Chains A and B, each alone.
Chain A
Amino acid sequence: MNLNTLTSLRNVTLFACLALGLAHGAETKSQTEAFPVFDSYIKITGLAPSISGSDSSAARRTQVPTNGTYGVEAIHYAKEIDKDTNIEFDGRALSGSEDYLGVFKANKNDVGTFEIGYKRFRTFYDGIGGFFPSNNRWMQLDNPELHTDRAKFWIGAKIERPNAPKFEFRYTNEQRTGRKDTTIWGDTDFTGIPAYYGVGAAAKNPPYSTARKIVPAYIKLDERQQNWLGSVKHTVGNTELEFELQHNIAKSGDRRIVNRYPGELQLFPRQSASTNPAKIYPPETIANAVSGYDQQNFDSKITSYTFKFETKFTETVSVYGGLLYSDGSADIGGDRQMTQYMPISGGRFVTAIGGFVGASGRPPYSYTTLSGETNEKVLAENLGFKFQPKADFYSTIAIKHEQTDVDGFNQVQYISNSINQTTGVITPVIGVAANSADRTEKSWIPEVTFRYTGIKSLSIYGNADYRHSPGTEYGSSAGAGVGGIIGAPVVSDDNVKLNHGHFKVGAAWTVNQMISLRGEIFYKDHTNGFYDRTTVGDGYVLGYQFFGEKLTAIVKPLTTLTFTTRLIRQTGKMDTTVDSGTNFQSNDTKNYNIGETVDWSPTPQMFVQANVNVVFNTVKTAYPVAGGLGNEVLRNADNNYVNGSFITGFVVDKDTDASLQYTYYRADNYKVPSPASVFYGAGVKEYTVTASVKHKFNDRLIGECKIGYIDSKNDTTGGNTNFRGPLAYVSLAYAL
């Protein structure tokens, strides 16, 4: 034992003895109440991080902006106007996280309620792309700190008079704006993979391409959804009746900003293919940069009518059912404008929206929708019976029929350009393509459920439903092809048969006061068949079967100690059959989830809660059956992880509580990558430590302080999104 260890041992032992001695010396307990719950209060907060490393990734993970957040975390005001009437106001205003709330509610017994509110909050994202380890290439946006704001305004009222119909009216207006990340990444040739051109290039080039799609992109959101709802509920005799009318207007104009081959421009004239020996191409000369946006617009209006009833014939038999009809249409538009760079003689370059096409090249697909709409009608009915012949047996039998008709069309104008690279003369190539689609589906879905509680402390239950859904599907799609010329439409005309079965049986058994056990087995069997109506034998059939179990055990060896264990296992296989070909297993998925929580209250003044989740999850498709270089391109998708937390809360003195918390997360799925692909497996190691103290200054003022530390390391991004540092939180709650 070295000197340092001895010194440390001495110090902490003395400290521990002092603490324990104080504990032993405390002879009297002070009687006190728990922290008061204020009827009306205001809570002021400040939260500040001090992060080293990637600020944007820290903001995304913690959902705390880099510069912190402060303001009114909560304000609550409640008042009884008279014995039947009360009002409530809840609010929040946090600057930095731009988190706002204002809700006013009024309630009068036997009359109804009124509510009006607005809330808004910000979600943080990081605008990162991919990491390619061969040359440690890391791509992220110039300003990777992205965020979106989701806002909602609502106003509603309920009229609830005794023995009278109950009415509800509600209007909501939701918006989402801002910028968020996307995984639809662009291409780059800056991957460190050599590209030779000239005589003998084939022998020198590696057996895979130079381009990897790791260039970050983002989406600029512009979404709005308004909903008007009116409903009435009433009970006539033994029948509950409900009618609801909804009108929904949704608008979306999300725009994805795309960058492909940034910083690249081909040489002009290109090196001759007969150059001997082959020369290596600098990565910046392999492709021509493309940048622009892709936007899909919707402006949809849907009106739906829902009627439901439930009649209680006897104490043991009820019948219920309903009818839903919705009629919607949408103006659809698309706008994709891609600007491509092209070198011309004299070391110059030109740009053009729509890009450039040669005799054999395809354009980067720039188009504008000239006109277009989709229509959707849904008619659904269901009817069911509820049986409870004995107090301990409950069952339902129901059937649903649903008919869906969707059709639509549009006209799209494509633009690309042909170019004479010697003169720089650009000639637009413009073409108009028509698209149309028509889909019908008629589903029948019977369902049976049961629950039996006739055995003491045991509940057995089950559920089965089967969706048989025949229909037709037609689609005709045309677009710009070689040379930018509109190609012949690709037409599909299928009979569709969907058969989806879901089955579940479970039991909950309270063995005794100490032990409760729950188990459930589930099975899912789907077949989705698309059979060509014009060519007998052609088609596509996807089948899959998933099977699994959920087991939960709750064990209480002491009234103050509880162990909860949960095991979930799920395995699934999928297969595809193309035309009359061979059935082929396309997927083999395995998932095991093991969870444990321990709740312990060694004394009434202290609790300890610990939990851990261990997950083994793998999705297997082409690997290893593909063989050859196919196995270098794609491996199994492993999604394993371990995470957990430990928290203890305890009374410090009559006015002070404290807690300590530790969290841990580890995913180790980032394997040694192959230069033939991009590997995405999550490889993260992360922990947080938090200490908090809550103190009652007086009967109207409570303060809380938290100090935390987070450390996050990410292998998948090559460590470029690592971050670490403390966060501090302080709040004061004052009773109004």
Chain B
Amino acid sequence: MSSKRRWTKSTIIFGGIAIWGLILVGCVMVDRTVVAPPNVAGATYVGSKKCADCHEDQTAHFKGATHANLALKDDKGTDIGCEACHGAGSVHVKAGGGKGTIVNPNKSPETCFTCHLDKRGEFSLPNAHPVLAGKVTCGDCHNPHEGKVIQRTGAELETPNETCTKCHTSQKGPFLFPHQAMQEGCTICHNPHGSVNQKMLVARDANLCLRCHLEHPSTVAGGVVGDGKISAGGEDHRTRLQGGTCWVAGCHEDVHGSNASKAMRY
């Protein structure tokens, strides 16, 4: 009689215990410390004033930054605003600066993810800016040291879309006939952190466009609510939408703007 080896629930449970035991072997044999990113092994807080000694450019205008709203202090009341993101600074100060002694969120998003859990989830999706791959950093779009973290909004001088068009050249324009949605900002259609949908779209189908373009059916002659019409631009688009989205070939292809067609057909 031969018994074929199989993975069973017991195998997994007791196998897990075995692995755990191996881990403990290591843990009791050495006292070296490993820490989950983005911490600095063996470091303690020194306070933001200490950081300003060398990093004046980064600290001078932090008072007006969005993240200053957190007003983080340690249990002795020391302002630890800088170290909340960069990790405890004592090792860095003692070493006189240098790599490996402080957390640099511009190299890894782990710091940002400690609070922005949702962004970790979004950047892990199949359609996302390559932040986890290290090709893009949070700091490429956000400045945590000064002003609003969502840059160029409100009464700030620059316009919001510059954050995107500094890399996305072909969307920069100006187009002869721009898509009005561009005035709402790129994020009205795209989630720049990541989406389940291709092109980081907030919706993959015609719902994306109909949010702003769905009209009362009466804009089509004889139309009434519930008659099966999908009215947009004064026309019933139901038949056309059978084919796919609004921005497929032969329909409204130039979604960011066009230089030849006001309806962005081409």
Q: Is the CB of A30 within 8 A of B29?
A: yes
Q: How far is the CB of B81 from chain A (nearest CB, A)?
A: 11
A609, closest chain B residue (CB): B36
Q: Is the CB of B101 within 8 A of A37?
A: yes
Q: A406-B174, A564-B114 known; A578 and B234 CB under 8 Å?
A: yes
Contact of A374 among B120, B174, B211 (CB under 8 A): B174
A140–B71 Cα distance when bound, in Å, is 53
Q: Is the CB of A123 within 8 A of B135?
A: yes
A209–B120 Cα distance when bound, in Å, is 42
Q: Is A641 an interface residue (CB 8 A)?
A: yes
Q: Is the CB of A627 within 8 A of B14?
A: no
A445–B205 Cα distance when bound, in Å, is 34
Contact of B203 among A217, A606, A637 (CB under 8 A): A637
Q: Is A266 an interface residue (CB 8 A)?
A: no
A681–B250 Cα distance when bound, in Å, is 23
Q: Is the CB of B259 within 8 A of A296?
A: yes
Please name all residues of chain A whose beta carbon is closer than 8 Å to the beta carbon of B221 when the two chains form the complex: none
Q: A330-B174, A651-B34 known; A260 and B211 CB under 8 Å?
A: no
Contact of A372 among B22, B32, B176, B262 (CB under 8 A): B176
Q: How far is the CB of B63 from chain A (nearest CB, A)?
A: 7
Q: Is the CB of B155 within 8 A of A447?
A: yes
Q: Is the CB of A19 within 8 A of B226?
A: no
Q: Is A684 an interface residue (CB 8 A)?
A: yes
Q: Is B208 an interface residue (CB 8 A)?
A: yes
Size category of the B interface is 35 or more
Contact of B64 among A250, A336, A396, A502 (CB under 8 A): A396
B124, closest chain A residue (CB): A643
Please name all residues of chain A whose beta carbon is closer than 8 Å to the beta carbon of B24 when the two chains form the complex: 19-20, 23
**Which one of A197-205, A276-284, A415-423, A589-597 contacts B?**
A589-597
A382–B72 Cα distance when bound, in Å, is 30
Please name all residues of chain B whose beta carbon is closer than 8 Å to the beta carbon of A260 when the two chains form the complex: 249-250
Please name all residues of chain B whose beta carbon is closer than 8 Å to the beta carbon of A653 when the two chains form the complex: 26, 29-30
Q: How far is the CB of B47 from chain A (nearest CB, A)?
A: 16
Size category of the A interface is 35 or more
A414-473 contacts to B (CB < 8 Å)? 435-437, 445-447, 451, 453, 457, 459, 461, 463, 465
Q: Is B229 an interface residue (CB 8 A)?
A: yes
Q: How far is the CB of A674 from chain B (nearest CB, A)?
A: 9
Q: A447-B154, A584-B216 known; A13 and B125 CB under 8 Å?
A: no
A308–B8 Cα distance when bound, in Å, is 68
Q: Is the CB of B125 within 8 A of A372?
A: no
Q: Is A630 an interface residue (CB 8 A)?
A: yes
A658–B243 Cα distance when bound, in Å, is 51
Q: Is the CB of A209 within 8 A of B6?
A: no
Q: Is the CB of A4 within 8 A of B8?
A: yes
Q: How far is the CB of A387 from chain B (nearest CB, A)?
A: 12
Please name all residues of chain B whose beta carbon is closer than 8 Å to the beta carbon of A657 when the two chains form the complex: 34
Contact of A606 among B23, B201, B216, B254 (CB under 8 A): B23
Residue in B34, B63, B229, B262 with the greatest tally of chain A CB atoms within 10 Å:
B34
How would residues 626 to 664 of chain A score, 1 for a CB under 8 Å from any chain B CB and 0 otherwise? 111111011011011101110111111110111000010
Please name all residues of chain A whose beta carbon is closer than 8 Å to the beta carbon of B159 when the two chains form the complex: 378, 402
B88-134 contacts to A (CB < 8 Å)? 98-101, 113-118, 120-122, 124-126, 130, 133
B262, closest chain A residue (CB): A477
Apart from A12-B15, A479-B260: 15 A-B pairs, beta carbons within 8 A: A174-B167, A380-B158, A435-B176, A435-B260, A461-B69, A568-B118, A597-B113, A605-B33, A607-B34, A615-B118, A627-B225, A634-B230, A658-B26, A667-B196, A678-B245
7 contacts between A and B (CB under 8 A): A32-B31, A605-B27, A625-B226, A631-B228, A633-B241, A641-B125, A678-B205
Smallest CB-CB A-B distances: 6 pairs: A628-B228, A37-B100, A613-B121, A19-B21, A595-B117, A627-B226
